Amino acid sequence: MSNNGRSLRPEKSSVAGNANGAQKEERPDAGMRALDHYKNKLPKWRYRLRQFFIPVVRWETHYLALAQENLRFPALDSYFALTANLGTHTFFMIMLPILFWCGYTSLGRALTSVLAFGVFWSGFIKDMLCLPRPLSPPLKRITMSGSAALEYGFPSTHSTNAVSVAMYALITLQQQPSSEFRYVVEYFSYFYAISIVLGRLYCGMHGFFDVVVGSALGALLTLLQTSYGELLESWLFEGTLRNPTIAILVLLILVRIHPEPADDCPCFDDSVAFAGVLMGVTMGSWHYAGSGFAWSLPTPATVPFNYANVGLIRACVRIFLGVFLIFAWRGLMKPTLLAFLPPVFRVIEQYGLDLPRKFFMRASQYKTVPALRKDDNVIPPASSIPTLITSLRNPRRRAVSVGPQSEADAYETLAYREKRRRESMSSQTGGRSSSTARPRIAEDPDEGPLLNSLRMTRDGDIQYSPVESSPTTVIVDERGLGELGGDGASDHRELFANLEKPRVRYDVEVITKLIIYSGIAWIAVEGAPILFELCGLGAL
């Protein structure tokens, strides 16, 4: 319980009023605790920003639901579910090392920079504002990622990634002579970015506001890279260790000031992973440039590669060996660090030097870190690759979900339901009829009667049809949540009890991710290229 008597978690709520029956203290009923969750958890300035943008998110829901209802088609479901993978962290973490190993070092470093900063800053904004995804229902969410729906919605990281990559490709192509190949790549870049952005709307994963701002962020990062990237690289390769050290310290400071979210959101984990990637690329490139193995042209630390000399078979062997090194490093270092770091963290904690974060258990609170599952949204363990491949066979059947999937979803469902209940009561008091509601959204034959209780009002909001025993009933989820009654406390308990519980996260995971992903980046830019030369897979 907090000092003002409010319960911060709905399942621990108590009846309003004190032992003497006094109820003059401003204290919300059960239905209002969802609204107070963010007020209690966030600093005032962040809460005010969130409240400023929340009406935009709710206003969009009506139009997104109508568009999805009219446009959904099985083939499109499969297409957008599959192509969404082309905007994920995992896809880029697989493709970026290949660029280095095939000699496209300048392109690889530039894309790594815009993508890493895109993931970091989009996650930074998500955790700062804590804005939910568009409400489901009425929207159906189509995604093959089990973690995507657990993140906040604003801005869209997929849109940031896609637009930054496409825009960088277009700017780079403008410097090349005209050719059929150039035009093909240009058209593909436009198609790729538009497809990913529209797909986030079609799949119900983001609203217009999310993708517009996400796209703008991606464009801004690309413009900064193309304008100042070469200047930053020349500063980095000046020769002394001071400059890369300064760059790494700046990255560590950014990780430290990453906002604390109000809910258990995995955005911070992804931001840490890509900060580690930048650290590894920075230090690895600087060291590789002076190793004697790298070419200095067309840019310092260029990985030697000549297709005419290497050939297709040796090029494929290089890629296979490099990927093997990455997964071997991850598989070896993860358990080693999770076993070695907790005792070190306990010593640090005794001297008050630890930097705890919400939702992360401190080392003094546990003895050992158990084997972690589904703890990495960027690079999965090698053992899960067959499952990932199998899931691609029928993306639509496995991807469609309706209802709250995270705490942020649940709080938004409760808060929005309370908002509509109060507006409905006010409307009835004023003598206005609710018969002006829009027609119900048609049922999806594949999903069942999930939306029977939902109506869309003319002002773009969602209204839940009244039920005799409870004027606040809402069909929430297809996974057994059923109908939520009018008792606010029981609504809260039932709704949150049916959410997938976030796993326990441990403080050592932050440093573990930084080390592992720094190592992955070092393997990509220095470790694997040196090994290629030593194993006879070099360019000469």
User: Could you tell me how far CA 467 lies from the centroid of its own chain?
Assistant: 37
Structure tokens given for 13: 């709520």
DSSP letters for 474-493: -B--TTTT-B--S-HHHHHH
DSSP letters for 415-452: HHHHHHHHHHHHHHHTT--GGGPPPPPPPBTTTBS-ST
User: Which positions ≥6 away from 111 have C-beta within 8 Å?
Assistant: 92, 96, 99, 165, 168
Q: Which amino acid is at 354?
A: D
Structure tokens given for 313: 């078979």
Q: Which active-site residues does the annotation give? A: 158, 206
Q: How many CB atoms lie within 10 A of CB 469?
A: 9
Report, in angstroms and rounded to the nearest whole number, the Rg of the chain calculated over CA atoms: 26
Q: How far apart are the C-alpha atoms of 263 and 485, rounded to whole Å?
A: 25
Task: Please name every residue paired with 60 in a beta bridge, in sequence order, or none if there are none.
Answer: none
User: Which positions ≥6 away from 492 have C-beta within 8 Å?
Assistant: 10, 11, 13, 30, 33, 34, 414
Say how many residues make up the chain.
Answer: 540
Q: How far apart are the C-alpha atoms of 254 and 173, rounded to whole Å?
A: 32
Residue with tokens 């639509």: 396
> How many Cα neighbours within 13 Å face the side chain of 384?
14
Whether the Cβ atoms of residue 275 and residue 267 lie closer than 8 Å to each other: no
Left if phi > 0, otherwise alpha if psi is -120 to 50, otherwise beta: which for 90? Answer: alpha
SS3 state of residue 361? strand
Is the bond preceding residue 502 a cis peptide, omega within 30 degrees?
A: no
